[in-house]
Amino acid sequence: MTVNSGFTLSRTGTDLRNRTVLAAMTNKQSEQDGTLSKAEIKWLLRRAEGGFAIVTTAASHVHPSGKSWEGEMGVWGDHQIPRLAELADGIRERGAVSLAQVFHGGLRAPRSLTGQQPVSASENREDGVEEISRELSSSEITDLVDAFAEAAERCEKAGFDGVEVHGAHGYLICQFLGEKTNRRNDRWGGNLIGRSLFLREIVRAIRSRTSEAFIVSVRLSPQIDNIGVSLRDSIELARMLADWDVDIIHISCWDAFVGAENEPEDPRTITRRFREAIPPSFPLLSTGSVWTEEDAEFVLGEGADLIGVARVAIAHPNWASRLGDGGYEPNRPPFTPEHLLDADLSPVFVDYMRKWRGYVTDGRE
């Protein structure tokens, strides 16, 4: 098995042309009302053309109250369907499978964008956010579960093959999962079963409103200390997810080559630990610091079925189709703005990439 070999998602029977996934990337190019812009469609279609098996959209809010930054894609209204359909059709025509990443910013969705106080599992404050969040009521939680399901239904109507539920990186679902950010005493909090109920209900509701063939991937952060997400809980949650009609578990490792942060005595990579915990045939996607073909093969060797990449695909749109002879070593950052514009990033996106350390020649060092 190599990164170039095909793979079939077991539950839906969806055939993937290889093991590569374009991971979700925020690019700030959507319109004010959450509609995809032509520039955003162009950047994603170029990667579908470049051979990726799965193309994931940027994080997209499922409800206006969940918007976390300017230019964020939305999947909360039918006005967004025509452009979603243009993207989904284009991805399919280029031989790739499409996933829309669905999320809610929770405590990171500021009043300046939503017109309301941020909401979360509990009252929470985080460095860098403008305002303390308030705790959601039980009925508001159920409404947000419905918003996720409606958004998924809308994505299917627009022609998407599936969604990736964003349970990683500290946004609302992750705020429910975390012991520190979820201090509720009702059924939505407490032990891991309670803290993961929001995610459980979202998956269940999506399943009830979409067809059998619709793919549901769930993205998790293995460990985030300030939210209270522990590796042990995340592995236990992955075991639970394998029984929830989920099609892919996606672990966001940031660095797929290292072991757990605070367990130097255990040299196993995070990917290996998840692989060993979930059923051997359950589709596992792992992302984090893969740059070369050798890197991708290493992570496959650790037990991932699919390899996600983000930063390398910004500069190298054909990354996936260049794999094959074993030795592909694409150039590394920094990249000139001209190079990135040639790779179909718009000036807005290039500007956003200037904030990522060392990525653009005239950006942050």
Ligand X SMILES: Cc1cc2nc3c(=O)[nH]c(=O)nc-3n(C[C@H](O)[C@H](O)[C@H](O)COP(=O)(O)O)c2cc1C
Binding of ligand X by 26 (CB under 6 A): yes
Among 21, 58, 96, 284, interactor with ligand X by CB under 6 A = 58
Max Cα-Cα span within the chain: 55
Binding of ligand X by 25 (CB under 6 A): yes
Bridge partner list, 135 = 120
Binding of ligand X by 311 (CB under 6 A): yes
Binding of ligand X by 133 (CB under 6 A): no
Tokens of 91: 């991805």
Q: Is 243 helix (H, G, I), strand (E, B) or coil?
A: coil
Binding of ligand X by 23 (CB under 6 A): yes
CB of 290 to ligand X, least distance (A): 6
Stretch that binds ligand X, among 128-136, 193-201, 241-249, 309-317 (CB under 6 A): 309-317
Tell me the Ramachandran region of residue 278: left when phi exceeds 0, alpha when psi lies from -120 to 50, beta otherwise: beta
Among 168, 270, 300, 323, interactor with ligand X by CB under 6 A = 168
Among residues 239, 143, 223, the alpha carbon closest in space to that of 178 is found at: 223
Stretch that binds ligand X, among 21-29, 119-127, 323-331, 332-340 (CB under 6 A): 21-29
Among 289, 292, 321, 361, interactor with ligand X by CB under 6 A = 289
Question: Which residue carries 């829309």 as its tokens?
Answer: 100
Question: Which residue carries 């206006």 as its tokens?
Answer: 64
Terminal-to-terminal C-alpha distance of the chain: 38
Among 38, 70, 138, 254, interactor with ligand X by CB under 6 A = 254
Please give the size of the binding site for ligand X, defined by CB under 6 A.
22
x-or-dash pattern for ligand X, window 85-104, by CB under 6 A?
----------------x---
Among residues 200, 88, 224, the alpha carbon closest in space to that of 148 is found at: 200
Region 173-232 residues binding ligand X, contact defined as CB under 6 A: 219
Those residues with Cβ within 8 angstroms of residue 104's Cβ, 6 or more apart along the chain or in another chain:
61, 62, 63, 65, 66, 144, 147, 148, 171, 172, 173
Residues at the interface with ligand X (CB under 6 A): 23-26, 58-59, 101, 166, 168-169, 219, 252, 254, 287-290, 309-312, 356
